[in-house]
Amino acid sequence: MQTKDAIDTLLVESRRFPPPPEVAKNANAQPGVYEEAQSDPVGWWASWARKLEWMKPFTQTLEWNEPFAKWFADGELNASVNALDRHVRAGKGTRVAYYYEGEPGDRWSITYQQLLDDVSRFANALRKLGVKKGDRVAIYMGMIPELPVAMLACARIGAAHSVIFGGFSPDSILDRVNDSQCVALVTADGAWRRGNKVPLKANCDSAISKGMPSLKHVIVAKRTDQHVHMEPGRDHWWHELVAAEPTTCEPERMNAEDLLYLLYTSGTTARPKGIKHTTGGYLTGVTATHKLVFDYKDDDVYWCAADIGWVTGHSYIVYGPLCNGATSVIYEGTPDYPDKDRLWSIVERYKVSILYTAPTAIRAFMKWGPEYVRKHDLRSLRILGSVGEPINPEAWIWYYEHIGGSRCPVVDTWWQTETGAIMITPLPGVTTLKPGSATKPFPAIFADVVNDAGESVALGGGGYCVIKQPWPSMLRGIWGDDDRYVQTYWSKFQHLYLAGDGVKRDEEGDFWFMGRIDDVMNVSGHRISTTEVESALVDHPSVAEAAVCGKLDEITGQAIVAFVSLKGGDPGTNDLAEELRDHVATKLGRFTRPKYLTFTPELPKTRSGKIMRRLLRDIAEGRMLGDTTTLADSGVVEELRSRAITEAAKED
């Protein structure tokens, strides 16, 4: 049966948008780029790498010892020099690096010279505290300028940063700091969020009280002016540390393959993985993609409205744009504070020409209605980007028409924390766009669609998304766990990187992403493992068992559904349901709070005791149930179906 909605979707999907002539004519990427890259992919990447500034030029390009790659391995460079010093030396010190807008409405701009001064000072301060090349430093902050400053200062002295998104809980901080034995933790007193103060420092204190043997120093930037405890000898105010430091700081010479950062991401187990990114290849990947995918030019004002705590911010707020000498916007808060036109007022104020945001945000804007958009002049925009999850064709069209004024190409960019940089994407001057499709692999990226046997599927078919050749910004492994790296990405198929996404490829070779194929949910573009949420639930004293799955959601893409059975056959109450949701938020982070929670005397299991997740997903999404004959007790399913899943009374 085809519903009206399904027919509308088909009509929207079949629309085509060739590149506007004025974009095509001057675009950084011209049609020949694919062939050029294809004819010598490693050489093509090397030509991008040579645009960086090397302290010792590389003579080697790719060393592939599957599945471990080294790129430009005999070269030496420093990421902060590439992001800052290089531009200042070229006479661009007065150029704005970031326009900063705080949630309460405070605004200022930071030039490349000022950013270099701040980074040098903080780098000196870190060195004085004893932080040295090869160490790891955790950073747990909101979106304030000190966050990129701290990252670049680490890069300057050769310490790897491990940024922990400010929405994470104390337990999440604890696990991450201890997993990679960070010697320092950089945070702030608090962060602004919808007019409230998020207690960042207090969260750190509560994490530290559970034991962080490697941690020697905590550095606290002032943002919200709330009272915080400062432990003598361990805790330092940022502004006091940097006050006497000079604005010059000798950068470390780093090998291209030295660790630039760790970023933890959720996998299919309860333990997050510390994804490793190194220096030379990573900077090459983010610089090339930022320049070609967003068609970035010197007179653009570029805004990636993500949080630096996720990879999108690392690659496309910090390293990519700064390496290209870009002028960017950083905004601290949420899009609906103080009102639902906040983003559009920012676009208008700074004359933003390139905007990069997520489908979940676009769907929220759709729901709020175009009147908030119409209040502002958005004619400065020329390129729009989307990232984080598949964008549904309706949201794509809305973005194109209402934000882009039917004038701006929309680039739907598919990539992952692991890939470091954009992998499958349109190029604005080249690609004919299809709403809902990420279109084609970026030049010199070899992606394919394969079946269960790892064989390439003919055009028109679907399967697993894989990458066939190494690329410069690829992860170099998982911190402390090479086996898990091999198991997770390189064991299902021989010689193919398994991304974990299902994808269809149409007759013209364009990719349409379908979502994850593993037990990973995508809620508002955040990657959350079902197992992580299940273990957080089971951690509560009254819970006997829990199973978690995702359910389609109009705004957030997926919403978290939890099925919980309580100890002693307790039927549960609404209050307890709230308590359990809060428990998950406290254990993991506010963005992991289940939207739906249902108590059930038992979970549906096979006779061998495996929870039948497929069935739970069917129940959660209200679908007809598939085969239930393998169930140990089919009564459980009837019982569950008869209970409507209850929605959270309170949303984050």
Q: Closest distance between ligand WT7 and the C-beta of residue 513, in Å?
A: 4
- Judged by CB under 6 A, which of 171, 189, 300, 501 binds ligand WT7? 501
513 binds ligand WT7 (CB under 6 A): yes
Cβ-proximal residues to 612 (8 Å cutoff; 6+ apart), any chain: 604, 605, 606, 630, 631
Kindly tell me which of 422 and 580 has the beta carbon lying closer to ligand WT7: 422
Please give the angle made by the CA atoms of 581, 585 and 587, to the nearest 5 degrees.
115
489 binds ligand WT7 (CB under 6 A): no
- Judged by CB under 6 A, which of 527, 551, 581, 587 binds ligand WT7? 527
Bridge partner list, 255: 76
Closest-CA residue to 420 (of 71, 144, 80): 71
Kindly tell me which of 420 and 470 has the beta carbon lying closer to ligand WT7: 420
Please give the angle made by the CA atoms of 613, 619 and 620, to the nearest 5 degrees.
85
Count of positions on this chain that bind ligand WT7 (CB under 6 A): 23
Distance of CA 31 to the CA centre of its chain: 29
Closest-CA residue to 288 (of 383, 388, 421, 439): 421
Q: What are phi and psi of 326, to 5 degrees?
A: -80, 160
CA pair distance 157, 169, nearest whole angstrom: 28
- Three-state SS letters, 240-303: HHHHCCCCCCCCCCEECCCEEEEEEECCCCCCCEEEEEECHHHHHHHHHHHHHHCCCCCCCCEE
599 binds ligand WT7 (CB under 6 A): no
Closest-CA residue to 380 (of 303, 442, 468): 303
Q: Closest distance between ligand WT7 and the C-beta of residue 356, in Å?
A: 10
Q: Closest distance between ligand WT7 and the C-beta of residue 191, in Å?
A: 20
Kindly tell me which of 134 and 509 has the beta carbon lying closer to ligand WT7: 509
Residues 339-378 binding ligand WT7 (CB under 6 A) are none
510 binds ligand WT7 (CB under 6 A): no
DSSP structure class, residue 592: G
Kindly tell me which of 522 and 556 has the beta carbon lying closer to ligand WT7: 522
Residues 407-446 binding ligand WT7 (CB under 6 A) are 412-417, 438
Q: Closest distance between ligand WT7 and the C-beta of residue 523, in Å?
A: 11
Q: Closest distance between ligand WT7 and the C-beta of residue 390, in Å?
A: 4
Kindly tell me which of 161 and 527 has the beta carbon lying closer to ligand WT7: 527
CA atoms within 13 A on the CB side of 18: 5
Kindly tell me which of 414 and 489 has the beta carbon lying closer to ligand WT7: 414
Output the six-digit token pair for 594: 């289940």
- Judged by CB under 6 A, which of 390, 409, 420, 604 binds ligand WT7? 390
Stretch touching ligand WT7 by CB under 6 A, among 18-26, 304-312, 559-567, 588-596: 304-312
Q: Pattern 254-293, binding to ligand WT7, x per CB under 6 A?
A: -----------x----------------------------
Distance set, CA 16 to CA 12, 33, 395, 399, 437 (Å): 9, 22, 15, 15, 11
Q: Is 581 helix (H, G, I), strand (E, B) or coil?
A: helix
Q: Closest distance between ligand WT7 and the C-beta of residue 439, in Å?
A: 10
Kindly tell me which of 412 and 618 has the beta carbon lying closer to ligand WT7: 412
Question: Quick one: which H or E segment has residue 140?
Answer: strand 136-140
387 binds ligand WT7 (CB under 6 A): yes
Q: Closest distance between ligand WT7 and the C-beta of residue 189, in Å?
A: 28
Kindly tell me which of 350 and 464 has the beta carbon lying closer to ligand WT7: 464
Residue ranges binding ligand WT7 (CB under 6 A): 265, 310-312, 387-390, 412-417, 438, 499-501, 513, 516, 522, 525, 527
